[in-house]
């Protein structure tokens, strides 16, 4: 047994004795009789059990209570006096955003976070942000209208500052309550030192590039090499022009003007009927003395839950007495979401080889023309497309042909 302390809805509960495996939702319902927190799937999928832990929405059905020791917890019972929650309850009623009401406590907790964190949220933004809360009754139309109504009302009233309660890296709870400040209603808000500035851009900012690949996802690692008939210094100088290098990749274009070390690319990929538009950011480190470079990047599909994060290391080596350059590339990436089903390593290796060949051809063309872009090359407004489906079909066709050749050649 473990003994923990929780601050729930502004009230301290010390000396709670529980088993280490007990989930926070069970403590709230069974130990503290706060049954407004509903349990649905108990797998962290439906969102009905969502509460605020240190001000951040979290699934209480998969949050271990021992991991929330000394944390600030806010349930639907503790939000009666919160002005955002009052506005949401009114909007939910008037927009017919609830029927049986089972999902509503979790919906309200998530909606409150959207209103505070995304003051300029569009209907599409709201649908995406609320997609982790499932409802079997409403069809979501009323819910989206209710949240959008509160967002618009607050913007009209000048209450459009971004409030992001997340002030520490790591699981919510976990002893991070000391960096938060509770308001009189017991709802945890960011301290004054962590207040965020208002959002000014219409287009969401591209995700920051990661310095390290997410170790929680299995990595696919590839190694490729190709040769270009140009001196190493000339190839190295070209690799420093990120706009030219990016658009050498089939299907790639630029979201904005790159800097010397940062680029925001867009990659459009077509796999059969699936079209994915990956938008992201990448940071580049270059070692001029050793002709080595490393790219750290991440991107997400604007149309689905697919996302990728990875790193690329490349080394330039002189060959043929300096007349040519060998480019050795090592790629590590993790792909999640619907498109991850196409990431079988053997097929990816073959597709990556064909993409590398296409990149090398484009690179040779740009160098031959002193970096001038190809006619019809992608710009900010234009969209190119990588037909991964065609590449996949070509790879499979060659594999089948190779299989029968080996089969009949062995007889």
**Nearest to 53, CA basis, from 151, 163, 168, 146:** 168
Q: For residue 215, what are the contacts with CB-CB under 8 A and spacing of at least 6?
A: none
- Only one residue has tokens 């050795």, namely 328
| pLDDT, tens digit, 9 for 90 and up, residues 11-25 | 999 999 999 999 999
Kindly tell me the number of DSSP H helices and DSSP E strands found in the chain. 9, 16
Residues 60 and 160 in one domain: yes
Residues 129 and 235 in one domain: no
Whether 198 is covered by a domain: the verdict is: no
CATH of the domain at 163: 3.10.20.30
pLDDT at residue 202, as a whole number: 40
| pLDDT, tens digit, 9 for 90 and up, residues 18-46 | 999 999 999 999 999 999 999 999 999 99
* The two three-digit tokens of residue 394, written as one number: 């070509």
| pLDDT, tens digit, 9 for 90 and up, residues 278-307 | 888 889 999 999 999 998 888 887 776 677
Number of domains in the chain: 2
Residues 224 and 318 in one domain: yes
Q: What is the mean pLDDT of residues 353-372?
A: 74
| pLDDT: which is higher, 369 or 126 | 126
| pLDDT: which is higher, 308 or 379 | 308
| pLDDT: which is higher, 87 or 389 | 87
Range of the domain at 396: 220-409
pLDDT at residue 375, as a whole number: 44
Residue 211 has pLDDT above 80, yes or no: no
Of all residues in the chain, the percent with pLDDT exceeding 70 is 69
DSSP 8-state code for residue 67: G
Whether 199 is covered by a domain: the verdict is: no
| pLDDT: which is higher, 209 or 240 | 240
Handedness of CA 378, 239, 222, 396 (dihedral sign): positive
Residues 164 and 94 in one domain: yes
Residues 254 and 160 in one domain: no
| pLDDT, tens digit, 9 for 90 and up, residues 111-124 | 999 999 898 899 99
Q: What is the mean pLDDT of residues 84-112?
A: 95
Average per-residue pLDDT in the chain?
Answer: 78
Question: How many Å apart are CA 143 and CA 104, to the nearest integer?
Answer: 10
Cα separations in angstroms, 127 against 48, 187, 255, 334:
16, 25, 24, 26
Whether 176 is covered by a domain: the verdict is: no
Q: For residue 362, what are the contacts with CB-CB under 8 A and spacing of at least 6?
A: 247, 248, 249, 250, 374
pLDDT at residue 200, as a whole number: 38
Whether 202 is covered by a domain: the verdict is: no
Question: Residue 171 — pLDDT band, cuts 50, 70, 90?
Answer: low
pLDDT at residue 199, as a whole number: 41
| pLDDT: which is higher, 54 or 193 | 54
Of all residues in the chain, the percent with pLDDT exceeding 90 is 41
């Amino acid at each position: 047994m473990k003994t923990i302390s929780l601050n729930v809805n502004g009230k301290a509960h010390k000396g709670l004795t529980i088993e280490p495996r007990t989930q926070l939702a069970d403590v709230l319902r069974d130990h503290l009789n706060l049954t407004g927190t509903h349990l649905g799937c108990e797998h962290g999928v439906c969102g009905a059990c969502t509460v605020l832990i240190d001000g951040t929405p979290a699934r209480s059905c998969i949050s271990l209570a021992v991991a929330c020791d000394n944390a600030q917890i806010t349930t639907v019972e503790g939000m009666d006096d919160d002005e955002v929650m009052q506005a949401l309850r009114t909007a939910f009623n008037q927009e017919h955003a609830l029927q049986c009401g089972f999902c509503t406590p979790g919906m309200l907790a998530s909606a409150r976070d959207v209103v505070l964190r995304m003051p300029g949220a569009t209907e599409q933004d709201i649908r995406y942000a609320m997609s982790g809360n499932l409802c079997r009754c409403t069809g979501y139309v009323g819910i989206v209208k209710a949240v959008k109504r509160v967002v618009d009302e607050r913007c009209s009233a000048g209450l459009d500052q971004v409030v992001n309660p997340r002030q520490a890296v790591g699981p919510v709870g976990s002893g991070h309550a000391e960096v938060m400040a509770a308001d009189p209603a017991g709802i945890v808000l960011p301290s004054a030192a962590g207040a965020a500035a208002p959002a000014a851009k219409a287009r969401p900012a591209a995700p920051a590039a990661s310095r390290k690949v997410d170790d929680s996802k299995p990595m696919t690692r590839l190694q490729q090499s190709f040769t270009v008939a140009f001196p190493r210094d000339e190839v190295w100088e070209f690799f420093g022009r990120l706009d030219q290098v990016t658009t050498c990749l089939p299907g790639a274009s630029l979201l904005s003007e790159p800097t010397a070390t940062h680029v925001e690319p867009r990659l459009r990929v077509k796999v059969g009927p699936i079209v994915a538009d990956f938008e992201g950011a990448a940071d580049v480190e270059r070692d001029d003395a050793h002709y080595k470079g490393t790219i750290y990047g991440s991107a997400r599909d604007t149309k689905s839950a697919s996302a990728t994060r990875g790193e690329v290391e490349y080394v330039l080596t002189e060959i043929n007495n300096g007349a040519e350059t060998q480019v050795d590339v090592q790629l590590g990436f993790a792909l999640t979401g619907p498109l991850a089903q196409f990431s079988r390593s053997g097929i990816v290796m073959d597709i990556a080889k064909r993409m590398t060949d296409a990149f090398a051809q484009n690179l040779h063309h740009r160098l031959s023309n002193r970096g001038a872009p190809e006619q019809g090359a992608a710009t900010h407004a234009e969209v190119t497309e990588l037909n991964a489906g065609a590449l996949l079909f070509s790879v499979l066709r060659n594999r089948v042909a190779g299989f029968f050749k080996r089969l009949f050649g062995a007889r």
